[in-house]
Amino acid sequence: MTTTQEQLATLATELGISLPPTDLWSDEPPLESDFHREQIDLLIRLLKRYWATRNDYYVTGNLTIYYSEDQITTRDFRGPDFFVVLGTEFKQRKSWVVWTEEGKYPNLIVEILSKSTAMVDQGPKKDLYQNTFRTPEYFWLDPDTLELAGFRLMGKAYQPTAPAIDGKLWSEQLELYLGVADRYLRFFTPEGEQILTAEEAEIQERQRADRLAAKLRELGFDPNQI
């Protein structure tokens, strides 16, 4: 436990009251498809690489968010496919327990729709993220139709995020665009440049070097001698 949690535990003991559990494991069902697993993993890796110098956020996927102290009996918890919390400690967690995280909820949530979850993602979950979590931004992607929808919390309710000319959706929370490329949801910089994984960046650099070498050979130069 952190120092604050230890102090609260000591105070609770002195007052004769019990505190809600804090060390809770995630309780999420298996993902619906290989695409769901690959898409979630891709978004996590992209954001971690882009924010490599930051340590003030938490990003994960298919991990339980415990937001009710009565969760054991009420089952009041949710596990978004992908979510980001800003202004928090960058570390590994078993789950996101709101009452041990200074009451913080996700700043952004993404759900990947499926035939079995679409109605919940577009209905009850959307209402939960709007009314209880008060999550500033909510997006969903339909992997079959490639429909990408976004919502921004305006006052008490979500309002649709207007797409840019090329169809990408701007995230104020991440200060990045979300868009579909090769049937996967990707992040794009404010200038519209696609954020690459480490593997993609390596391939791109190798291709650039090959093109440069070919051009030098056309000009009569040996690239190995330069």
Q: Is there a single domain that holds both residue 21 and residue 87? A: yes
Instruction: Please report, for the domain that includes residue 141, its CATH number.
Output: 3.90.1570.10
Alpha-carbon Rg for the chain, nearest whole angstrom, is 22
pLDDT digits (tens, 9 = 90+) for 27-59: 656 677 899 999 999 999 999 999 999 999 999
User: What's the token pair of residue 61?
Assistant: 């996927």
Residue 73 banded pLDDT, cuts 50, 70, 90: very low
Of the pLDDT bands very low, low, confident and very high (cuts 50, 70, 90), residue 6 is low
Model's pTM, two decimal places? 0.82
CB 97, CB 77: distance < 8 Å: no
Residues 32, 136 share a domain:
yes
Say whether pLDDT at 3 is over 60. no
- Residue 213 pLDDT: 85
Judgement on whether residues 59 and 26 belong to the same structural domain of the protein: yes
User: What is the C-alpha separation between 58 and 39, in angstroms, rounded?
Assistant: 18
State residue 76's pLDDT score.
Answer: 58
Looking at the predicted structure, is the pLDDT value of residue 23 above 80? no
pLDDT score of 8 more than 50:
no
Lowest-pLDDT range, 12-16, 51-55, 155-159, 186-190? 12-16
Mean pLDDT of the chain: 87
Residue 44 and residue 118 share a domain: yes
Q: Is 37 left (phi over 0), alpha (psi -120 to 50) or beta?
A: alpha
pLDDT band with cut points at 50, 70 and 90 for residue 2: low
Count of structural domains, the chain: 2
Judge whether 211 and 223 are in contact, CB under 8 Å.
Answer: no
pLDDT tens profile 108-150: 999 999 998 899 999 999 999 999 999 999 999 999 999 999 9
Domain that holds residue 220: 196-226
